[in-house]
Structure 1
């Protein structure tokens, strides 16, 4: 078997290409099913029992590998941000020395292979029990798989997420909470010149409500910084009609649960400023803030100790981005994320991974799973 620099076998690279060539944007149920079928085959070949769970967003899978002790939960996702056609467009599959490029190669199809390859290496050896969950909708906030994640977390000893690490390869311990919210305004249409007073401008109301949102999230009484991004705005129809409808989608990031609760409660309580206007807020997706706990730090320390034993230095620190480990960490399960290989360009045309790092991550996970607690 051809061996690529860093210890990653040629078969692994072929597998990675196979996954990348199954373009799997969020909510593409056919592509999601193909991803799940391919991953299930490899997990079964590695000795796992596999089950599927389908929602209107796609197909998720859970793989169970018998071993010692309570299972360690491995967490990943099969969807990407890339629309079909990216592979033949701006993000082609390519290999240049140690660098592999392609849509989803970094976020996070290479991370999925780290799990499988490490488990394969442990066949016939003593190792920890493993449960892996690969959800189909992480890139849109996991709106249909939260219950699956909670079920998979029952009875586990800890959780490892296979999202990309920090740029220097450090793991992620603690993540900002992330909430996507829709602010919708209903007004009343009328002719903008002949009868402007009969109308209620939904756009004017939305603008004023967004100023109130800004005031809420910058309140100096909040215990920590809140990031707020008004990502989309839409409304109205024609310049000579007072607009009857408008809406905005807002992304919010929270360091801690207290600020999260206060801000979301304040936004839920928004009231119209104009007579006749109706204001509604609705949460599109939400991941709770995960502040690193003592148990999280203990898991990091254990992984770092194992890493030193195989010549790897492991560090970890908080991250701004959110993921499925937000939920697991907030539940009090010892959790760490960023176990995917190093690279860069997540969600960008420069997306890539390092083959050397891919081999190193497989070796580290193999060592972690082989370290059976006494």
Structure 2
């Protein structure tokens, strides 16, 4: 069995299996409570003061460790995209040499152990103050925990997110903003043959509105590219009835806040093409664009130096996917994400993580925490 600083590989695997076997899909409040309880036990053993924050989505955990200077905020989540039963079905737990598999093993239960592994090594050692927050609803956009994230960010020196890195292990600095919204249309039903003039087709109206959406997101005067995907369309019921209702769910990705504000304002101002039709735009979830700042790059430089002290070469670049660091980075806090271990298959049956990379990330965070600012 490989001995690592702060424990054996077997001990890491045992902990990871315990977390993975708590199947914790978003909005499963009982499962999030079990995750928070297990994590709380380990954080308290590491010397942290722990509290729970509960919302309708479940239990989130906040842990505080006193040290030098303003705290460094460590950010993670306990929920996964996998339904209960995935462990016994498509995504069984397994260990094959360096590779571990299971629901949530990569996104991001292994990242939670990076946090713990580093702080456990540093009991009684001079180090930075630490605040950790593990939210219960990140996979659905953190709709109930964004206020908690904002509170946890008050007075911190920087933010580290423990989502998965780029495939080559590079950290993430800057993320596209992500907004899910629904365009809803209310028309008026009538017989499609006997009295078509009395009806207002919600589907026809929706089609025209989606053409407007396409024009808005492709406006050549926008400062940056906007990605737009119409993910679902619904409405109507029978071919002989003018449909009274229709809706489309749309996913948008933004590089910068200027394009984000302009596009969302234009979509909010959509007006009906047909008299007496009603059009409404409803935001389902939204994470702001986080464009890397000078402070973010300076923070990356600090991490690069910590990595070189260990013989690790650390790189960082922007990412397309969104997460909780979008909010925190957009607030102007020095922020980096992707501090979880290498692996792959997030949200897929091939989900897996590397134990070697898990140990390397623990080493890197330990080095970062012991680099106490003067």
Q: TM-score range by the shorter chain?
A: over 0.9
Does 1:3 pair with 2:25?
A: no
Partner of 1:204: 204
Q: Give the superposition deviation at 1:8.
A: 5.3
2:287 is matched with 287
Counterpart of 2:84 in structure 1 is 84
Tell me how far apart the structure 1 counterparts of residues 201 and 258 of structure 2 sit (CA, whole Å). 35
Is the aligned partner of 1:115 residue 2:111?
no
For residues 92-241 of structure 1, the aligned pairs below 5 Å read 92-241=92-241
Task: Tell me by how many angstroms 1:111 deviates.
Answer: 0.3
Q: How far has the Cα of 1:4 moved from its partner?
A: 6.8
- Give CA deviations for 1:189-235 in whole Å, capped at 9, x if unaligned: 11222222211111111111111101100111101000011111111
Displacement of 1:5 in angstroms is 8.7
Cα contact 1:5–1:356 (8 A) shared by 2: no
Q: Distance in 1 between matches of 2:89 and 2:4?
A: 28
Q: Which residue of 1 aligns with 2:255?
A: 255
Q: Which residue does 1:242 correspond to in 2?
A: 242
Partner SS, residue 232 of structure 1: strand
What is the alpha-carbon distance in structure 1 between the residues aligned to residue 321 and residue 8 of structure 2? 28
Structure 1, unaligned runs of 5 or more: none
Q: Give the match's secondary structure for 2:82.
A: coil
2:40 equivalent to 1:40: yes
Give deviations 1:318-348, integer Å, cap 9, x for gaps. Answer: 0011111011111110000000000011111
Q: Deviations along 1:209-266, whole A, 9 cap, x unmatched?
A: 1111011001111010000111111111222221111111111100011100110010
The 2-side partners of 1:5 and 1:63 are apart by 24
After TM superposition, give the deviation of residue 124 of structure 1 in Å: 1.6
Q: Partner of 2:169: helix, strand, or coil?
A: coil
2:26 aligned partner: 26
Is the partner of 2:172 in helix, strand or coil? strand
CA RMSD of aligned residues (A): 1.2
Write the distance in 1 (CA, Å) between the matches of 2:323 and 2:8: 27
Size of the aligned set, in residue pairs, is 373
Gaps of 5+ in 2: none
What is aligned with 1:336? 336
